């Protein structure tokens, strides 16, 4: 039985096509993936992302503990700062990718993927060891909306009355809105400017209603969340990161701080970085319009050299493009590769895995 977010009834009433995702019944689309995608690129869209998991870490050793399980470096970070990074297994494989919010000197909020909540929380508890920390899984009581697009700041300020214009990219504030404590952060998963807001269910539902009533934010489903993040080369756990795909293989080494004295998986990813990973996530642009999709084979010299992890005919550019995990020998920019699509080979070329420019407000 899939779980439902606090906005389930709103989605159904809005005519959303509901699908199972990460253990939840989530809206795939309302009006259509293309319309919703374009709304986020050109105006403003709102996503229910209440399925995401939230874990709060507190205690005297909170910072040391986060440093131990997280690849990025939060040492001495000021309150209000956000870090993207990963939790790794000892062998360098990825447990999950996540955001870490610095709530105070000894308090952190970790935002994790819905499909991984149980696995991650069990992993976090197993890594406590002698750290003096308290871990609380708040996933079931915390709702979340993502308001994304070039008009996101105006909509969040004017429709929701939230004071967010002064937030820099990857920072947040804790605020009191309508009598409840909420978190507002300048983050997202679309490549556009935007905000993610966290709060209790009733407040999240009230925000959703205000946004719908205003007509200034189009309701957007997981369908366009994937096309948007894909176009700007952002990874999805399960596609471009997994227990088998390390952040080094995924080209996300800048979020792995090897100058930190230690963290779980450090030795393995340090070795991968030094020797070069055996496989890499690359971008591939196709010559025609055939559409590469997850799991399709990547071929070179008549041999399989990899698999597509995510692919689309880009809504923003019209070009057929994909990300793929390929043997390192075939990962250089400009390398010709074929993709097997519906029993035929289609010619492509390795390109940067960014098919559309990000428009962040920094």
Partner 1 sequence: MSKVIEGLYYSESHEYVKVEGEYGYIGITDFAQSQLGNVVYVDMPGEGDEVTAGEPFGAVESVKAASDLISPVSGEVVEVNTALEDTPELVNEDAFANWIIKVKLSDSAELDALMDAAAYTAACAE
Copy the structure tokens of residue 93. Answer: 């494989």
Helical ranges in the chain per DSSP H: 8-13, 33-42, 62-69, 117-126, 152-158, 201-214, 222-231, 266-275
- Among 25-33, 45-53, 54-62, 123-131, the segment contacting partner 1 (CB under 8 A): 25-33
Binding partner 1 (rule: CB under 8 A), the pick from 145, 321, 341, 350 is: 341
Binding partner 1 (rule: CB under 8 A), the pick from 69, 290, 298, 305 is: 290
Helical ranges in 79-132 per DSSP H: 117-126
**Quick check: helix, strand or coil at residue 5?**
coil
- Among 85-93, 182-190, 237-245, 286-294, the segment contacting partner 1 (CB under 8 A): 286-294
Of 343 and 362, which has the nearer Cβ to partner 1? Answer: 343
Of 33 and 305, which has the nearer Cβ to partner 1? Answer: 33
Of 215 and 318, which has the nearer Cβ to partner 1? Answer: 318
Copy the structure tokens of residue 199. Answer: 């709060």
Tell which residue, 20, 15, 86, has the closest CA to residue 246: 86
Nearest approach, Cβ of residue 294 and partner 1 (Å) = 11
- Total of residues contacting partner 1 (CB under 8 A): 17
Of 227 and 242, which has the nearer Cβ to partner 1? Answer: 227
Distances (CA, A) of 343 to 27, 283, 338: 32, 21, 12
Of 25 and 193, which has the nearer Cβ to partner 1? Answer: 25
- Binders of partner 1 among residues 219 to 258 (CB under 8 A) are 223, 227
Distance CA 297, CA 320 (A): 15
- Among 124-132, 183-191, 264-272, 288-296, the segment contacting partner 1 (CB under 8 A): 288-296
Binding partner 1 (rule: CB under 8 A), the pick from 13, 15, 20, 34 is: 34
Contacts of 69 (CB under 8 A, 6+ apart): 87, 123, 124, 127, 263, 264
Of 37 and 257, which has the nearer Cβ to partner 1? Answer: 37
Nearest approach, Cβ of residue 325 and partner 1 (Å) = 20
Copy the structure tokens of residue 272. Answer: 């991968």
Nearest approach, Cβ of residue 291 and partner 1 (Å) = 5
- Among 115-123, 194-202, 285-293, 327-335, the segment contacting partner 1 (CB under 8 A): 285-293
Tell which residue, 189, 253, 245, 244, has the closest CA to residue 220: 189
Q: E strands, the chain, where?
A: 17-21, 24-29, 45-48, 53-58, 82-88, 94-104, 107-112, 134-137, 142-148, 172-177, 180-185, 194-200, 218-220, 279-286, 297-300, 303-313, 320-327, 336-341, 344-351
Binding partner 1 (rule: CB under 8 A), the pick from 44, 62, 217, 291 is: 291
- Among 26-34, 95-103, 152-160, 257-265, the segment contacting partner 1 (CB under 8 A): 26-34
Of 28 and 86, which has the nearer Cβ to partner 1? Answer: 28
- Binders of partner 1 among residues 120 to 179 (CB under 8 A) are none
Of 30 and 83, which has the nearer Cβ to partner 1? Answer: 30
Binding letters toward partner 1, positions 299-328, x by CB under 8 A: -------------xx-x----x--------
Distance CA 274, CA 286 (A): 31
Copy the structure tokens of residue 29. Answer: 């689309």
Q: Do the beta carbons of residue 15 and residue 26 sit within 8 Å?
A: no
Residues that bind partner 1 (CB under 8 A): 28-29, 32-34, 223, 227, 289-291, 293, 312-313, 315, 320, 341-342
């Amino acid at each position: 039985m899939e779980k439902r977010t606090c906005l389930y009834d709103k989605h159904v009433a809005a005519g959303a096509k509901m699908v199972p995702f990460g253990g939840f019944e989530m809206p795939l689309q309302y009006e259509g993936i293309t319309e919703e995608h374009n709304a986020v690129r050109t105006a403003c869209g709102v996503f229910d992302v209440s399925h995401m998991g939230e874990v709060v870490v507190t205690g005297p050793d909170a910072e040391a503990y986060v440093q131990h399980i997280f690849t990025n470096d939060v040492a001495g970070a000021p309150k209000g700062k956000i870090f993207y990074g990963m939790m790794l297994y000892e062998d360098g494989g990825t447990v999950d990718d996540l955001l870490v919010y610095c709530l105070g000197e000894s308090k952190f909020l970790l935002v994790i993927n819905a499909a991984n909540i149980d696995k991650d929380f069990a992993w976090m508890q197993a890594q406590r060891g002698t750290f003096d920390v308290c871990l609380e899984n708040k996933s079931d009581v915390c709702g979340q909306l993502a308001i994304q697009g070039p008009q996101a700041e105006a909509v969040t300020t004017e429709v929701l009355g939230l004071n967010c214009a002064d937030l820099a990219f990857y920072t947040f504030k804790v605020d009191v809105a309508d009598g409840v404590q909420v978190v507002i952060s300048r983050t997202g998963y679309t490549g556009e400017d935007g905000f993610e807001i966290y709060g209790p269910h009733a407040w999240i539902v009230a925000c959703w209603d205000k946004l719908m009533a205003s007509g200034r934010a189009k309701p957007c489903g997981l369908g366009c969340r994937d096309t948007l993040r894909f176009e700007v080369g952002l990874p999805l756990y399960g596609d471009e990161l997994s227990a088998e795909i390390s952040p080094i293989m995924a080209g996300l080494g800048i979020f792995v701080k090897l100058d930190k004295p230690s963290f779980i998986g450090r030795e393995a990813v340090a070795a991968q970085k030094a020797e070069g990973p055996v496989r890499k996530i690359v971008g591939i642009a196709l010559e025609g319009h055939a559409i590469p999709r997850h799991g399709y084979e990547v071929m070179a010299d008549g041999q399989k050299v990899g698999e597509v992890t995510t692919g689309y005919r880009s809504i923003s550019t019209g070009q057929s493009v994909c990300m793929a995990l390929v043997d390192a020998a075939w990962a250089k920019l400009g390398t010709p590769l074929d993709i097997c699509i519906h029993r035929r080979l289609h010619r492509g070329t390795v390109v940067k895995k960014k098919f559309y420019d990000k428009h962040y407000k920094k």
